[in-house]
């Protein structure tokens, strides 16, 4: 029998106390233990970017991060981007306006990476956006719309 470890996670501004096995990933803690299913499980190997979240403002792949590694740090998932009144983050709104999704499965990870891409200052050109968003795959091929959405959101955030 594997022992469980008590941990405290700070997710989207809320404190959560959990008891998890030491091998539980942040992705599984979010989805299976906390019911935050917006972060998607794609490849579960760190190759697709569908599980992208932010820890202390830095993008990370939740499938490769143990939940215990996030203890005491600020985790933001897709559910935490919108304001409390429901106003969408600029990137979320731009994804809607630019029709930057088809099936939508990769969208949460794409949005989380786009927010970080803009915050990191890597949205100066379409080529730069493509380079810094390269870790997020879209099986539907919505890349031109994703780049347009990131470009739009970067301009809105800058103004």
- pLDDT tens digit string along 7-24? 999 999 999 999 999 999
Looking up tokens 């890597």 gives 122
DSSP state of 66: B
Model confidence at 1, pLDDT cuts 50, 70, 90, reads low
Q: For residues 78-103, give the mean pLDDT.
A: 96
pLDDT at 138 (0 to 100): 95
Rg over CA atoms, the chain:
16
Q: For residues 49-58, give the mean pLDDT.
A: 98
Q: Counting Cβ atoms within 10 Å, is residue 13 exposed (0-12), middle (13-18) or buried (19+)?
A: exposed
Model confidence at 55, pLDDT cuts 50, 70, 90, reads very high
Residues 6+ apart with CB under 8 A from 115: 54, 81, 89, 91
Residue-wise pLDDT tens digits, 21-42: 999 999 999 999 999 999 999 9
Residues 6+ apart with CB under 8 A from 46: 61, 63, 64
pLDDT at 35 (0 to 100): 98
Percent helix, percent strand, percent coil in the chain, to nearest 5: 40, 15, 45
pLDDT at 140 (0 to 100): 92
Residues 6+ apart with CB under 8 A from 79: 12, 36, 38
Percent of the chain with pLDDT over 70: 99
Model confidence at 2, pLDDT cuts 50, 70, 90, reads confident
Q: pTM above 0.85?
A: yes
pLDDT at 113 (0 to 100): 98
Q: For residues 69-98, give the mean pLDDT.
A: 97
Q: Counting Cβ atoms within 10 Å, is residue 23 exposed (0-12), middle (13-18) or buried (19+)?
A: exposed
Sequence length of the chain is: 159
Rounded distance between C-alpha atoms, residue 65 and residue 61, angstroms: 6
**Residue 122: pLDDT over 90:** yes
């Amino acid at each position: 029998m594997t022992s469980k470890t008590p941990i405290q996670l700070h997710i989207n501004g809320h404190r959560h106390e959990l008891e998890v096995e030491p091998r539980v990933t942040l992705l599984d803690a979010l989805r299976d233990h906390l019911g935050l299913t917006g972060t998607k499980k794609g490849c579960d190997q760190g190759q697709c970017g569908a599980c992208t979240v932010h820890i202390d403002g830095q993008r990370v792949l939740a499938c490769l991060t143990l939940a215990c590694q996030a203890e005491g740090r600020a985790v933001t998932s897709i559910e935490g981007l919108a304001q409390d009144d429901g106003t969408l983050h600029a990137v979320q709104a731009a994804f809607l306006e630019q029709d930057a999704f088809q099936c939508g499965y990769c969208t949460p990870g794409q949005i989380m990476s786009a927010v970080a891409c803009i915050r990191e200052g890597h949205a100066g050109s379409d080529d730069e956006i493509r380079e810094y968003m390269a870790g997020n795959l879209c099986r539907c091929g919505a890349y031109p719309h994703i780049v347009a959405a990131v470009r739009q959101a970067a301009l809105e955030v800058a103004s």
